[in-house]
Amino acid sequence: MNLLVVGSVALDSVKSPFGSVEEVVGGSATYFSTSASYYTDLALVAVIGDDFPQAALDDLDQRGVDLEGLIRHPGKTFRWRGEYGFDLNEAHTLETHLNVFETFNPVLPEVYRKSEFVFLGNIDPELQLRVLDQIDSPRFVGADTMNFWIRGKREVLQKVLSRIDMLFVNDAEARELTGESNIVKAAAAIRQMGPTRVAIKRGEYGALLFDGDTVFFAPAYPLEEVFDPTGAGDSFAGGFMGYVARRRSVENAVLCQATVVGSVMASFCVERFSLERVRTLNPEVIGRRFEQFQRLMHYDPLDPLET
């Protein structure tokens, strides 16, 4: 398997200033897979309850996501309820029900153990470790986490960090993880903990990639309508890892491009609730936004003090 993701598959209820939805398909692994599926085949490891809609599984299956590692357990699917104010950068969690995730013990199908590219979505770091333990010798492992685990399971999280190649976190998480308010210093401190690369996600302000001794920045695409930021970070990671797995390379030039791919996929995600926009793209629509993105960042290199 080229790319493997473990994470949550959920039913989300979301309220933003632009509307609200109840129990729509969500979850870190779902957004990641849908986004990555435009770039590569991949396999999804997660657990759902008996109430998860079959149509959503059919959709993942049709886009080439291998679901052998997606276990259906008796009980209810993981549920999240959240709200956004006009500052769409911050989600306010109202309810979290782990449900079938409480007893989830991921056992990887044999064929998944040879995965080369791996993404550990935002779930309990103990589960992240358990998945990692079952993979023979991955080439590149990315991971996400959140303040809840930074506060509650720091020790296990440190073990995860010592075994991954790249961490994807937002500003606030980077600061909380390291105690550094300056984001450049926070990224350096994270790299001391293990991962040689760090992506700092900054919501509507874009994302920074720290790799080797270089920093690369991709803005968020400026949109007139931002409906719902839920899943943007996972769509970013899905685009990033999907592109890396497609290119089968982690050289700096590829990682910079992957950061742009991630930003483009995130820009689609926030335009609608749930997976509505990310699941209905096509190569032409994606290509067009890449061109717009390139114009957004392009200038003729200059020696400003020459005439």
- Residue 70 carries which side chain, given as an amino acid letter? L
Shortest distance, CB of residue 31 to a second copy, whole angstroms? 18
Shortest distance, CB of residue 153 to a second copy, whole angstroms? 26
* Residue 225 interacts with a second copy (CB under 8 A): yes or no: yes
Nearest to 241 by CA among 284, 279, 209, 268: 209
Helix (H) or strand (E) holding 39: none
Distance in angstroms (rounded) separating the CA atoms of residues 215 and 244: 18
* Choice between 147 and 252, CB closer to a second copy: 252
- Residue 204 carries which side chain, given as an amino acid letter? E
- Please spell the DSSP secondary structure of 100-125, one letter per residue: GGGG------GGGGG-SEEEE-SS-H
* Residue 179 interacts with a second copy (CB under 8 A): yes or no: no
Shortest distance, CB of residue 190 to a second copy, whole angstroms? 14
* Residue 112 interacts with a second copy (CB under 8 A): yes or no: no
The CA radius of gyration of the chain, in Å to the nearest whole number, is 18
Nearest to 6 by CA among 94, 66, 80: 66
Structure tokens at 151: 């506060």
CA atoms within 13 A on the CB side of 209: 27
* Choice between 111 and 253, CB closer to a second copy: 253
x-marked contacts with a second copy along 232-271 as a string, rule CB under 8 A: -----------x--x------x--xx-xxx--x-------
x-marked contacts with a second copy along 61-90 as a string, rule CB under 8 A: -------------------------x----
> In this chain, which of 223, 251, 280, 288 binds a second copy, going by CB under 8 A?
223
Shortest distance, CB of residue 267 to a second copy, whole angstroms? 12
Shortest distance, CB of residue 303 to a second copy, whole angstroms? 6
Shortest distance, CB of residue 188 to a second copy, whole angstroms? 8
Tell me the sheet residues that pair with 177: none
Structure tokens at 47: 């657990």
Which of 19-27, 42-50, 268-276, 283-291 is the region at the interface with a second copy (rule: CB under 8 A)? 283-291
Shortest distance, CB of residue 237 to a second copy, whole angstroms? 15
Which of 51-59, 109-117, 189-197, 290-298 is the region at the interface with a second copy (rule: CB under 8 A)? 290-298
x-marked contacts with a second copy along 190-219 as a string, rule CB under 8 A: ------------x-xxx-x-----xxxxxx
* Choice between 34 and 99, CB closer to a second copy: 34
- Please spell the DSSP secondary structure of 188-203, one letter per residue: HHHHHTS-SEEEEE-G
Shortest distance, CB of residue 210 to a second copy, whole angstroms? 9
Helix (H) or strand (E) holding 237: helix 232-247
Those residues with Cβ within 8 angstroms of residue 228's Cβ, 6 or more apart along the chain or in another chain: 14, 16, 18, 21, 84, 270, 272, 273, 274
- Residue 277 carries which side chain, given as an amino acid letter? R
Instruction: Answer whether 142's CB lies under 8 Å from 241's CB.
Output: yes
Structure tokens at 273: 């609730």
Place of tokens 């491009």: 257
Interacting residue ranges for a second copy, rule: CB under 8 A: 38-39, 86, 181-185, 202, 204-206, 208, 214-219, 222-226, 243, 246, 253, 256-257, 259-261, 264, 283, 286-287, 290, 294-305, 307
